[in-house]
């Protein structure tokens, strides 16, 4: 009985200490006239607080370089070509994500996905650490959700 109890306790501790993934909020807009879908990813206040952009858009500016930060933290790869899809900074508003849905956020980042293609999105919590989280995406309309990105390290 003692062996079973210790084994159960060890297993329970292992499960509690396991990486449960990371929640990332995103939406994908309907295809437009160019057959492209707008991927919109929320950068939460906590993401910015713990690992926000350190670089600015120029040495004379105090504006954070969100595009560079997104390139390092939200890596979206086209599965067919292996190319990384660039992000651009959006505002606090999106036609697919209402303020009531995302709550407290810094910005919404946007990337263009080709309709019907598949992509792999990695969320890299801190570009100095090996932890990254992964989710498969398809270029098709998807309403806003916070979804768990599974550990991939």
Domain 21-49+65-146 falls under CATH 2.60.40: yes
Residue-range domain boundaries for the chain: 21-49+65-146
- Adjacent-strand bridge partners of 147: 24
* Per-residue pLDDT tens digits for 6-17: 555 555 555 555
What are the E-state strand segments in the chain? 22-28, 36-44, 74-78, 84-85, 88-89, 105-114, 118-123, 133-138, 142-151
What integer pLDDT is reported at residue 9 of this predicted model? Answer: 59
**Going residue by residue through the chain (153 aa), what tens digit of pLDDT does each one get?**
667 755 555 555 555 556 778 888 898 989 999 999 999 998 887 777 677 788 888 888 888 888 888 888 999 999 999 999 999 987 665 666 666 555 556 688 999 999 999 999 999 987 666 678 999 999 999 988 888 888 888
Give CA–CA dist 132/65, Å, rounded.
21
Transcribe 42-72 into DSSP letters: EEEHHHHHHH----BSSTT--SB-HHHHHHH
**Other CB atoms closer than 10 Å to residue 25's CB: what's the count?**
19
């Amino acid at each position: 009985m003692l062996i079973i109890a210790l084994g159960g306790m060890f297993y329970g501790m292992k499960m509690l200490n396991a990486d449960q993934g990371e929640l990332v909020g995103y939406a994908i807009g309907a295809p437009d006239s160019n057959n492209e879908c707008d991927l919109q990813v929320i950068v939460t206040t906590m993401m910015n607080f713990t690992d926000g952009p350190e670089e600015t858009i120029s040495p004379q500016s105090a504006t954070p370089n969100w595009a560079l930060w997104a390139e390092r933290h939200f890596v979206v790869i086209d599965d067919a070509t292996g190319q990384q899809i660039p992000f651009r900074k959006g505002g606090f508003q999106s036609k697919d994500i209402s303020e009531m849905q995302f709550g407290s956020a810094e910005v919404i980042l946007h990337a263009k996905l080709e309709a019907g293609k598949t992509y792999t999105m990695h969320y890299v919590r801190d570009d100095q650490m090996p932890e990254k989280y992964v989710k498969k995406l398809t270029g098709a309309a998807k309403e806003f959700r916070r979804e768990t990105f599974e550990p991939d390290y």
